[in-house]
Amino acid sequence: MKKVVIIGSGCAGWTAALYTARANLAPLVLMGAQPGGLLTTTSIVENFPGFPEGVDGYELMTRMQKQAERFGAKSTFGTVEKVDFSKSPFELTVDGEKNQAETVIIATGASHRHLDVPGEDLLETKGVTYCATCDGALPVFRNQPLVVVGGGDSACEEATYLTRFASVVHLVHRRDSLRASKIMADRTLANPKIKPVWDSAVTEVLDVKQDKVTGVKLKNLKTGAESILDCAGVFIAIGHGPNTDIFKGHVEMDAHGFIIPKKGTMTSVPGVFVAGDCADQVYRQAITAAGAGCAAAIDAERFLAARNE
Ligand code: NAP
């Protein structure tokens, strides 16, 4: 039986592993379907403190893993299929095999919603991105026309942020009014560098043949008219989904599936902790996830210490 099992291997997971390993708790990290998490899909991370020249997302995650392993953290590529938090020790079914844990840290992250249109997947990191804060300042986007897709607060935030770099930001939304909060919507529409494209859907990202984004194909959903909009980047901001399906009915979550911590990082089940994007609708940054991973590790360590007193 393990004292601590960490589900997920993004910033939150590896930071929790580092702290629990240094506390001699010999954590096991179950790396899941996307080892290293969302950051591994980003090219240069320029906003993680300590890397003045920026750092490749994959490299950053590899370094976090090495740092945790140096203190004794172990990991496996397993994906958790089922959990049973109704009894102690907790039981986790990983690729058909049962594992027991005294405490669990859930750090399964979130996944960007995809448009699911041709070109989107093949051009990811070649102009298609899901994070303006991560990628907006890259040289390839500077003084170029950019497209943001979505009509919520995220899309408005992304579009506004991108006006620092872009020549113009086309905000493509499938309806004729924004879903975003009024203050965000007003600020966005008042920005002279943001041009809304209403009632429109992106039906294809161009150009796979050139292996980079050169534009998007648009369809006006009211008139059916099709057009091409030239751009160097497509920022898709149509929402996130937390990777929490397997925990439904086991820990308390909100209507969107984000896990709700009850006390510090502890969930509705004592001994089960949560960190990172699977519990965060607001910040969703590598550094905040890492901070939450640290907090969850400290909470788990104190929980075990109190139980053994
Ligand atoms: P959201 O509010 O769910 O908005 C998603 C947007 O994407 C909507 O406009 C939606 O269109 C559009 N959309 C969804 N699926 C689409 C598809 N397949 N194709 C094209 N468009 C699609 O998500 P969010 O903007 O990420 O915000 C999530 C939560 O975080 C919200 O509660 C938000 O207030 C909060 N948030 C707050 C801030 C802030 O306050 N600073 C910043 C970011 C996020 P429809 O409008 O037609 O449904």
Domains in the chain: ranges and CATH: 2-111+241-307 (3.50.50.60), 114-236 (3.50.50.60)
Q: Sign of torsion, CA 160 166 286 92?
A: positive
Ligand 1 centre and the CA of 180: distance in Å? 7
Q: Sign of torsion, CA 205 207 213 215?
A: negative
Ligand 1 centre and the CA of 249: distance in Å? 25
By 3-state DSSP, what share of the chain in percent is helix, strand and coil, each rounded to 5?
A: 30, 30, 45
Ligand 1 centre and the CA of 91: distance in Å? 35
Ligand 1 centre and the CA of 42: distance in Å? 21
What average pLDDT does this structure show over 140-160? 95
Question: Which protein residue's CA is at the shortest distance from atom 48 of ligand 1?
Answer: 179
pLDDT at 112: 86
Annotation marks residue 56 as catalytic = no
Residue 196 Cβ inside 6 Å of ligand 1? The answer reads no
pLDDT at 41: 67
Annotation marks residue 278 as catalytic = no
Q: Which of 130, 158, 179 to mutate to test the pocket of ligand 1 (most atoms within 8 A of CB)?
A: 179
Amino acid at 93: T
User: 61-100: per-residue pLDDT in tens?
Assistant: 999 999 999 999 999 998 999 999 999 999 999 989 999 9
Amino acid at 215: G
What average pLDDT does this structure show over 53-68? 95
CA nearest to 133, candidates 60, 44, 229 = 44
DSSP 284: -
What average pLDDT does this structure show over 45-74? 94
Residue 118 Cβ inside 6 Å of ligand 1? The answer reads no
